[in-house]
């Protein structure tokens, strides 16, 4: 199939699922429609990956772009979409929301559609709109359970992110303005146009524009101190939605930051832009470390862990160079797999113990033997311990940082990763090996019939690749990262 | 290269220059009207008038700058931002049965002072940017000042006002500021982008409307001061 056809399949599959769910209005049919859409999208993304390597290609009058960086983000998005769609079948059945289930899946597929759209956008303005659309759709998924807390989370999410991302729009307009001084009043602000005009931009404007854009998209990525919406939204949405928010959505906004860093490089703004990126990345790690160690709620723990890993990725892109970019991209896929696993486990534990509070979850292994083991393995993985993928990617980012001008950040990162390792696993220690064996039986609920398969399968599907990626860095990936790093370098291909 | 700066370098007819300045400054004043009032209806009227002024500005830029497609944007701005959005918001306000801010974190008089300081800050930044581009004393600097001021005032409203509707209006003031500035700074921006942003705004407000209803039904409040369950 041609690249255009593959892109059409990637986007039309979730769109068809949205239409199907709304037309049929049946819970079972909606589940499977969404799952089929996820499988089809995932398959098409896999087929697209090798083809994108020759890119960038532009499609549809230049509005869509297929390049290796975008395809890589698509891979992590489609992976999480597939895993979350499998898990959602089990999780949502247990929620007892049969009447509204078709709406959930319509929104879910719609959310997947918007997140798949973002990395494909070639026009910077349209990319901004795609990111804004993801917020609008996912707000209703966050508030889906209609409890007081979830509606509060949805409100904070939409207000904070809309306000933050409007700064990015301002920055984009500054870039357009700066470019119009050389390119003429009307032109298409594509990524390549921006990159080629960057060396001729007025440095003052370019710097202001970059900072605005970074803060704006940084809000959506969940970087501290703009992360305040993230723990609320991640903790109050249903578990599959949390997985999508953390594993898919944040990456879609991260790709914008990666591309704008390149623009800042091409504009020759000195070391300031990258230093700002590194400082914000390190600050995210610090905030995450503080809130992880003192956390009392299981899903907020995972949410702050997302802030941490977005900080790590930001550090990777901020350090830059072939190693930094490769580390950040490898980390992106590993984090998507791992965080999905973590939210699935958290969802299972919440169902089993009827509580989100860490203090009310005891002896997880007796309540959920298989899922519990997988969750435990995921917890070890997400703190960056070998032999899992995140160890490799974090190590690569550390090495990348040592070579650059911001080497101080490497030591900060290392220290905070150790703090997080201890803090995070300490919570798991209390949940798995509590002090009062007799209290274990009190809260436990049996798993709803017929959901075990759907809940446990995606956890295996996440953990096994994570382990494989931890012991074996595929040569094809290394090549892919090298191509992306070359394209993200100053004067890199279009 | 002054020609590339479009119509907004020195060679602007005096009448056009005054008109642009008048419209931009009046829009900024209307942001202050919102900041200095407690009444939600006054916010709405100020927002609607502000949108109409921005529509006029688009038309003026279309006329003096020779961008005919901006006439269309002017009509759509007046229609969407000036009529449809205020109407949607009015419906929300009526349903809420709240017509004023009860517990603002900062009294309107103090917010006016803070707002004035923000404008001074915006002016300093805009002058600095203007100097870098050799645009000192042109409409572009004024547009930048108004754009950044409205941005900051929008954030101020988000911070000190607690009624949900004030927060929505805060977001809309942010957007109006960007839109106003972009009409003067980048009048040639592709039409498609402007259209989609207009449409996007409509969807945003529709989403806000639905969420406000959820808030009232499921959280039992229309004040964000009550939304303090999720912390830590």
| Of A104, A108, A106, nearest in space to A96 by CA | A104
Contact B128 A204 (CB under 8 A): yes
Within 8 A of A215 by CB-CB distance, chain B residues are none
φ and ψ at residue A136, rounded to 5 degrees: -65, -40
Average pLDDT over residues A126-140: 91
H or E segment and range at residue A328: helix A321-353
Average pLDDT over residues A413-438: 87
Predicted confidence (pLDDT) per residue in B85-128, tens digit: 899 888 888 887 777 776 777 888 888 999 999 999 999 999 99
CA distance A285 to A279: 10
Q: Grade residue A79 by pLDDT with cuts at 50, 70 and 90.
A: very high
Contact A158 B196 (CB under 8 A): no
Closest chain A residue to the Cα of B197, Cα to Cα: A129
CB-based contact A341:A420 (threshold 8 Å): no
**Is the Cβ of A271 closer than 8 Å to some Cβ of chain B?**
no
The answer to whether residue B232 is domain-embedded is no
CA distance A310 to A331: 9
Interface test with B, best of A185, A210, A357 (most B CBs within 10 A): A185
Of A143, A152, A177, the CB nearest to B230: A152
Contact A158 B207 (CB under 8 A): yes
Within 8 A of B186 by CB-CB distance, chain A residues are 173, 176-177, 180, 185
For chains A and B, what is the number of CB pairs under 8 angstroms? 136
State the pLDDT at residue B94.
84
State the pLDDT at residue B11.
62
The answer to whether residue B231 is domain-embedded is no
A51-60, A304-313, A371-380, B6-15: range with lowest mean pLDDT: B6-15
Q: For residue A438, count other CB atoms closer than 10 A to its CB.
A: 7
CA distance A42 to A81: 8
Q: Grade residue B205 by pLDDT with cuts at 50, 70 and 90.
A: confident
Tokens at B5, concatenated: 């700066």
Confidence check: pLDDT of A16 > 50 = yes
**Is the Cβ of A141 closer than 8 Å to some Cβ of chain B?**
no
Confidence check: pLDDT of A210 > 50 = yes
CA distance A295 to chain B (A): 7
The answer to whether residue B211 is domain-embedded is yes
Alpha helical stretches, state H, A198-320: 203-221, 229-236, 239-244, 250-266, 272-293, 298-319
Q: What is the largest CA-CA distance in chain A?
A: 75
Contact A173 B186 (CB under 8 A): yes
State the pLDDT at residue B4.
44
Within 8 A of A235 by CB-CB distance, chain B residues are 230
CB-based contact B88:B206 (threshold 8 Å): yes
Within 8 A of A146 by CB-CB distance, chain B residues are 214, 218
Average pLDDT of the residues of chain A: 90
Confidence check: pLDDT of B231 > 80 = no
Q: Grade residue A435 by pLDDT with cuts at 50, 70 and 90.
A: low
For the CA atoms of chain A, what is the radius of gyration? 21
A11-25, A29-43, A350-364: range with lowest mean pLDDT: A350-364
Q: Grade residue B50 by pLDDT with cuts at 50, 70 and 90.
A: very high
Q: In sequence order, what are the residues at sequence separation of 6 or more whose Cβ sits closer than 8 angstroms to the Cβ of residue A401? A: A315, A319, A324, A407, A409, A410, A413
Q: For residue A493, count other CB atoms closer than 10 A to its CB.
A: 13
Contact A181 B1 (CB under 8 A): yes
Confidence check: pLDDT of B41 > 90 = no
Contact B133 A202 (CB under 8 A): yes
Q: Which domain holds residue B126?
A: 2-226
CA distance A158 to chain B (A): 8
A129, HSE (Cβ side, Cα atoms, 13 Å): 19
State the pLDDT at residue A460.
93
Within 8 A of A125 by CB-CB distance, chain B residues are 189-190, 193, 196-197
Average pLDDT over residues A253-261: 93
State the pLDDT at residue A111.
95
Looking at the 3D structure of chain B, how many domains does it have? 1
Average pLDDT over residues A234-240: 92
DSSP string, chain B: -GGGGGGGSS---HHHHHHHHHHHHHHHHHHHHHHT--BHHHHHHHHHHHHHHHHHHHHHHHHHHT-THHHHHHHHHHHIIIIIHHHHHHHHHHHHT--B-SS-SS-HHHHHHHHHHHHHHHHHHHHHHHHHHT-TTSHHHHHHHHHHHHHHHHHHHHHH--BHHHHHHHHHHHHHHHHHHHHHH-TTS-HHHHHHHHHHHHHHHHHHHHHHHHIIIII--SBGGG--S---
Interface test with B, best of A161, A186, A293 (most B CBs within 10 A): A186
Both ends of chain A: CA-CA distance in Å?
Answer: 24
Within 8 A of B207 by CB-CB distance, chain A residues are 136, 139-140, 158
**Is the Cβ of A293 closer than 8 Å to some Cβ of chain B?**
no
CB-based contact A76:A332 (threshold 8 Å): yes
CB-based contact B218:A146 (threshold 8 Å): yes
Contact B230 A136 (CB under 8 A): no
Contact A151 B215 (CB under 8 A): yes
Confidence check: pLDDT of B1 > 80 = no
């Amino acid at each position: 199939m041609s690249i255009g056809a593959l892109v059409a399949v990637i986007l039309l599959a979730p769109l068809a699922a949205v239409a199907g769910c709304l037309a049929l209005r049946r819970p079972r049919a909606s589940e499977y429609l969404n799952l089929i859409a996820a499988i089809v999208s995932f398959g098409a993304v896999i087929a697209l990956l090798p083809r994108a390597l020759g890119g960038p290609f532009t499609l549809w009058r230049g509005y869509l772009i297929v390049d290796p960086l975008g395809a890589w983000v698509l891979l992590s998005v489609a992976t999480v979409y597939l895993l979350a769609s499998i898990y959602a079948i089990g999780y949502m059945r247990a929620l007892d929301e049969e009447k509204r289930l078709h709406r959930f899946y319509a929104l879910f597929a719609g959310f997947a559609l918007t997140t798949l759209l973002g990395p494909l956008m070639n026009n910077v303005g349209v990319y901004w709109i795609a990111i804004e659309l993801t917020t609008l759709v996912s707000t209703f998924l966050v508030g889906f359970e209609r409890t007081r807390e979830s509606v509060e989370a949805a409100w904070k999410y939409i207000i904070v992110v809309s306000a933050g991302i409007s700064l990015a729009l301002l920055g984009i307009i500054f870039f357009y303005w700066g470019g119009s001084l050389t390119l003429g009043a009307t032109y298409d602000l594509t990524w390549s146009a921006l990159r080629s005009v960057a060396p001729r931009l007025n440095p003052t404007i370019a710097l202001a524009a970059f900072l605005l854009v970074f803060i704006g998209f940084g809000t959506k990525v969940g970087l501290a101190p703009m992360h305040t919406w993230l723990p609320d939204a991640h903790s109050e949405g249903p578990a599959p939605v949390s997985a999508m928010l953390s594993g898919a959505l944040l990456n879609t906004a991260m790709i914008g930051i990666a591309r704008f860093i390149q623009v800042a490089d091409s504009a020759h703004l000195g070391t300031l832009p990258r230093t700002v990126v590194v400082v914000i990345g390190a600050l995210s790690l610090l905030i995450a470390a503080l809130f992880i160690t003192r956390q009392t709620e299981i899903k907020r723990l995972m949410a702050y862990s997302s802030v941490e890993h977005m900080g790590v990725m930001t550090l990777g892109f901020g350090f830059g160079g072939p190693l930094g970019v490769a580390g950040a991209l490898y980390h992106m896929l590993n984090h998507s797999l791992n965080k999905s696993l973590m939210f699935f486990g958290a969802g299972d534990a919440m169902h089993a113990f009827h509580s989100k509070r860490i203090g009310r979850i005891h002896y997880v292994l007796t309540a959920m033997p298989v899922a519990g083991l997988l969750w435990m393995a995921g917890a070890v993985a997400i703190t960056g311990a070998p032999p899992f993928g995140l160890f490799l990617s974090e190590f690569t980012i550390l090495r990348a940082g040592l070579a650059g001008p911001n080497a101080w950040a490497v030591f900060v990162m290392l220290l905070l990763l150790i703090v997080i390792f201890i803090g995070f696993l300490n919570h798991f220690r209390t949940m798995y090996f509590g002090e009062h064996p007799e209290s274990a039986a009190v809260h436990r609920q049996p798993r709803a019939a017929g959901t075990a398969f759907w809940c446990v399968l995606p956890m295996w599907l996440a953990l096994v690749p994570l382990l494989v990626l931890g012991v074996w860095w595929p040569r094809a990936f290394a090549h892919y990262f090298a191509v992306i790093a070359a394209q993200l370098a100053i004067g890199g291909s279009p | 290269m002054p020609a590339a700066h479009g119509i907004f370098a020195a060679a602007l007819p005096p009448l056009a220059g005054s008109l642009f300045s008048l419209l931009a400054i009046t829009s900024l004043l209307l942001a202050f009207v919102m900041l200095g009032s407690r009444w939600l209806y006054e916010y709405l009227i100020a927002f609607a008038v502000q949108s109409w002024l921005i529509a006029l500005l688009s038309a003026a830029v279309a006329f003096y700058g020779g961008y005919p497609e901006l006439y269309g944007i002017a009509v759509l701005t007046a229609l969407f931002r000036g009529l449809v959005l205020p109407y949607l918001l009015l419906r929300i306000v009526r349903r809420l049965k709240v017509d004023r801010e009860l517990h603002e974190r900062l009294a309107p008089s103090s917010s006016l002072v803070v707002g004035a300081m923000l404008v001074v800050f915006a002016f300093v930044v805009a002058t600095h940017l203007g100097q870098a581009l050799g645009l000192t004393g042109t409409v572009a600097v004024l547009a930048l000042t108004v754009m950044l001021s409205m941005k900051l005032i929008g954030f101020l409203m988000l911070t000190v006002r607690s009624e949900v509707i004030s927060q929505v209006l805060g977001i809309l003031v942010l957007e109006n500021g960007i839109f106003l500035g972009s009409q003067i700074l980048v009048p040639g921006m592709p039409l498609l982008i402007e259209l989609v942003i207009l449409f996007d705004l409509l969807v945003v407000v529709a989403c806000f409307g639905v969420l406000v209803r959820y808030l009232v039904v499921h959280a039992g409040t229309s004040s964000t001061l009550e939304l303090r369950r999720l912390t830590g």
